[in-house]
A = this chain, B = another copy of it.
């Protein structure tokens, strides 16, 4: 792969539902190609390939993960395994010199994540978690707005939510609510995005305290189905709240309150339309005389994109891989950093719940 023309060859480890979307993204991104698929059996890998029209001579199928990691032609792996398996397989991937695109939540806790990140650093491979929304051009546009001292000012408050309601069967039996597979439940799955969005708005600065709100619902195995928390930055007097749930109607809210402006969107994780996404902002709003109306209304900003956000993520990841492999650049540290602060806050929410909703100082 020591030239800039060859696309980055991806191996997918684990045929989760989300891998369907990602295999499409790998093929849509101009600098990557889907090279191999590994599942727990060759039948599973084949079925996945057939179901997603991926079966061809150019795609290798593996009946176990280690064979894919031993394939010298695999440059990078996308790993949508249950969280409990990340520590083992992510470290092994790094040791096999595979660049690592890891599904969220990245690990069961930050101690595990640090081991994964450290393995990537030691082996000179790129680490990135597969939070797609960071890579949508809309996100960059929102950052521009939020960074404008006149239009937006200082961040004062943030509210985010991530919820969906997959039904009673899911709540007891899905991987995402199994204590031995995805023990973090709705906090790890849906809450990951809320925490990430809040930290994104705060330029990845850790809050002073994290306090879970006394509103945790769990399934019969004790896995979180709903939770809420508040984050507080003492120096800036900024407060953030989030709500994540597997028992509430579909939401993906991000609302940011600044001193001079505000913005909101309702689909920050998955845009309602693939090629055109929007957010709305208000700046300099005042009441009309007699307080019988507003001088300005929220304005929608439309952002078009040629690629779906997940393909933009693959493209960015592959660009970094190429920079490392061809130009001998160092891996980009901002991606493991943002994963790490997200995981740190997630751990703090969990700790606060365990402490009976006491504040956890960061």
Interface residues of A (CB under 8 A from B): 18, 20-21, 24, 153, 156-157, 159, 161, 163, 165, 209, 211, 213-215, 217, 226, 228, 230, 232, 237-239, 241, 243, 245, 247-251, 253, 255, 257-262, 264, 266-267, 270-274, 282-283, 285-287, 290-294, 297-298, 308, 357, 359
Contacts and interface: CB of A to CB of B under 8 A. Distances in A.
Contact of A292 (B163, B238, B274, B298): B274
26 contacts: A21-B290, A24-B290, A156-B226, A157-B161, A157-B248, A159-B159, A159-B241, A163-B257, A211-B213, A213-B239, A215-B230, A215-B237, A228-B239, A228-B241, A230-B241, A239-B243, A248-B257, A249-B258, A249-B259, A250-B262, A251-B257, A251-B262, A253-B255, A270-B291, A270-B293, A272-B297
A118 B239 CA distance: 38
A274 B237 CA distance: 34
A357 B359 contact: yes
A153 B248 CA distance: 9
B237 A157 contact: no
Contact of A283 (B21, B24, B238, B249): B249
Given A21-B291, A159-B159, A282 B241 contact: no
A285 B251 CA distance: 9
Contact of A214 (B209, B262, B298): B209
B249 A273 contact: no
Given A239-B243, A243-B157, A297-B272, A285 B228 contact: no
Contacts of A248: 156-157, 257-259
The 5 closest A-B pairs by CB, nearest first: A215-B239, A250-B285, A156-B248, A272-B294, A241-B241
Contact of A257 (B214, B243, B264): B243
